[in-house]
Amino acid sequence: MLKKIIYIKNVGRFRNSQIGGDTSLAKYSFIFGANGFGKTTICSILRSLKTTDAGYVLGRKTLGVSEAPSIDLLTSNGNIRFNGSAWSVAYSNLAIFDGIFISQNVHSGDVVDIDQKRNLYRVIIGEAGVSLAEQELKLAGEGRAKTTEISNTAKAIQTHLLSGIKLESFIALPKIDDMDEQIAVQESRLTAIREATTIKTRPSLARLELPALPDGFTALLAKTIGDITKDAEHQINVHLAAHGMTLSNGANWIVQGIDHSSESCPFCGQAVDGLSLITAYQTVFSDSYKALRGAITAMKVTIDHAFGDTALARLDTLAEQHKGGIEFWSKYCQLDTAALDYPASIASAIKSLNEASLALIERKIREPLEAILVDDVFMKAMGGYEVEKEKVDAFNQAVHQANALITAKKTEVGTADFSAANAELARMKAVKTRHSVSVAKLCDDYSRLILQKTGIENQKMRVRQQLELHTRGVVKPYQQRINDFLDAFNAGFRIAETKHTYAGGIATSSYQLIINQTAIDIGGGNTPHHIPSFKNTLSAGDRSTLALAFFLAHLKRDGSLANKIVVFDDPFNSQDAFRRRQTIHEIVKIAGKCVQVLVLSHDAAFLKLIWEKCPASERAALTLADHGQFGSKIAAFNLEKACQGRTATDIDDLQAFVTNGAGKHIDIIRKMRTVLETYMLTTYPLYFDEGDWLGEVVRKIRESGSAHSAAPLYDELNQINDYTAQYHHGENFTDATPDQIDPIELGGFSRRTLRIVNALQA
């Protein structure tokens, strides 16, 4: 049993929890404290003690202090201390219901995700099942570690593998004593086969094909249009000269104009009928003229393609291929290498002919109506090209003769199977590598690891079979216990189809909600909002009730409950009056079966209702008092006195009025004031005196300003005081008549009152 919290230092709000007085705990222990005063911190400390996980304490280290967290707890077996990094003794006999239990095992926010499903499975199966689950988890971890070892060893072996050989086949290769001699014989055989195969697959030499000038090149240069009269041409030339143009550079412009003209000029819009110049244009630039210009342009493109840069690049490629072919085939055939010398000068001849031909074409483009005669430059280039063609013809004849020898050589080398011989050599080398000292050790390690992993997997399978058998025996009863509690709490839903899977290799639980006889999957974080699931079918109160039902169902089948300290942190949350009473009933019932129960709450009236059901000699109450810059202190607490004038009936009456308008308006106003006065006095005992009315409370907060611990409540308290004071002067509430009180306004102020004292239902 936890007999006393000696001190908590530098954890959360606790700079040093000691304040003096009797702070002993009892079998039935109650700790009252406003939200943010340290209740959750105490639960985290106890969870750290239970799990020996120091992170639950270290994560709540008081900010702004350099000293390490330090804790001293007195138990029935002596002191247990936390020294800043670890506990002196482990204490596992704790069962804690708090926000962490809910977020780890039931839901996080408004969803149930994979972590909650996995943890809930452990809650369901109990300690015996958890032992099996931990064995399986341990074996799964060992299996994964062994898989990593196997993978690393396999990677080391694979660096020695030859292409095409699988790892398992490589390891299974038998040892051969004279492997080196066999490899030498096979390599000699393969050399001969390799040469034959290379000869058979090597291409013969390629002929050199030269381009020729397009047919009609010289005829096109000389072509004119016979039906164009000299008078028309002369008239156009005179007109163009007057505008600084010639027929060669103005022709395109005129052609475009003629194509768009009709009865008026396309340039100025004046009538052109009967104009001699227009007649001359139409005569000169006829369809025949357009056809001629098109033929000239096409000829230029053809020549450039046949003799231009592309052709020269192709010759360079052929030259390199020819050089490689000569080097290869000279090793196997008696070739006339002089005759096969590549005619490199042909490139210069092609380039010269291309330039001369294009020069004539360019001239024809400028003077399409003139007959262009070939010039000396062209004739010289053409002559040089013809000389090079003769060299190429001789070269091609030599290629033809060489290819006859090459074909004969390919036929001569036979049909040896290189692939089969090469594969056999690879197998022999693999055998040698496999049984080398270093690789043989790796293979032995690999085989040993495979056997070990197989043993782990077999053991894991046996444990899982036991776990499956155990799980099937506890899941349905656990589901029934939960539904029994949900029924006792008058919940409008139940759970069904509780089952488990092994998603990701780890046991995971799942269940359905049954609402209005309709099954709803609990879903997860990725469930779309338009699909019914846990997050959009249960209210906050329903979720709290379900979480408490899970916890209570777990305790009910806990065989070691009699030795456990059971902790409840604000177990009553967002629930109605009936569930409040049922929660009290269940806590009292659990308290009678465990060694100690510790209930923490921000609601003194709730604590008092439990307090009244416990033996007077076995109960103790403490409070978490705010001491400003000195943090929270753990002090003795007179729970009965704190609840005088702020009874559960007062709270219930305010809640009933907010819910359904029940109660006299004057009485509700009186209870608002007394509830707030009692709450402020018990929550902030250092700041207010016995007998302080609400107006005095507001004044003290106002005069102290932001330094007052209750400063955040000032605006709300001030407005409620102003509202209720008009009916409170002289303490004679009967002076006011019911028709003076607006019930809607009263309902709003009642809700604000309940919100301040943490009693507003969801």
178 Cα distance to chain centroid: 57
Residue 419: inside a domain, yes or no? no
What pLDDT does 627 receive? Answer: 72
Identify the domain boundary among 388, 412, 436.
412
Distance CA 179, CA 182 (A): 5
* Residue that has been written with the tokens 């300690």 in this structure: 127
Q: Which domain holds residue 271?
A: 217-412
Identify the domain boundary among 412, 445, 465.
412
Residue 566: inside a domain, yes or no? no
Would you place residue 731 in the very low, low, confident or very high pLDDT band (cuts 50, 70, 90)? very low
Residue 749: inside a domain, yes or no? yes
Residue 578: inside a domain, yes or no? no
304 in Cβ contact with 354 (< 8 Å): yes
Q: Mean pLDDT over all residues of the chain?
A: 83
Cα separations in angstroms, 158 against 136, 429, 451, 565: 32, 14, 20, 57
Output phi, psi for 498, to 5 deg.
Answer: -70, 125
Residue 324: inside a domain, yes or no? yes
What pLDDT does 232 receive? Answer: 56
Residue 261: inside a domain, yes or no? yes
Cα separations in angstroms, 383 against 346, 362, 387, 614: 12, 21, 6, 127
List, in sequence order, the alpha helices (H) in 367-417: 376-412
End-to-end CA distance of the chain: 35
Identify the domain boundary among 394, 412, 430.
412
Q: What is the pLDDT of residues 111-158, one digit of tens each?
A: 666 666 666 666 666 666 667 777 888 888 899 999 999 999 999 988
Residue 22: inside a domain, yes or no? no
Q: Higher pLDDT residue, 216 or 185?
A: 216
Ranking 208-212, 309-313, 317-321, 539-543 by mean pLDDT, the lowest is: 539-543
Maximum mean pLDDT: which of 78-82, 303-307, 417-421, 751-755: 78-82
What pLDDT does 545 receive? Answer: 85
Residue 382: inside a domain, yes or no? yes
Q: Residue by residue, what is the 3-state secondary structure of 19-34?
A: CCCCCECCCEEEEECC
Helix (H, G, I), strand (E, B) or coil at 593: coil
Number of structural domains the chain divides into: 2
Would you place residue 573 in the very low, low, confident or very high pLDDT band (cuts 50, 70, 90)? low
Ramachandran region, residue 207 (left: φ > 0; alpha: ψ -120 to 50; beta: rest): beta
Instruction: Give me the sign of the Cα torsion angle 233, 239, 240, 241.
Output: positive
Ranking 20-24, 77-81, 532-536, 650-654 by mean pLDDT, the lowest is: 532-536
CB-based contacts of 357: which residues, under 8 Å, 6+ apart? 213, 217, 303, 307, 378, 381
Q: Residue by residue, what is the 3-state secondary structure of 533-579?
A: CHHHHCCHHHHHHHHHHHHHHHHHCCCCHHHCEEEEECCCCCCCHHH
Distance CA 210, CA 294 (A): 26
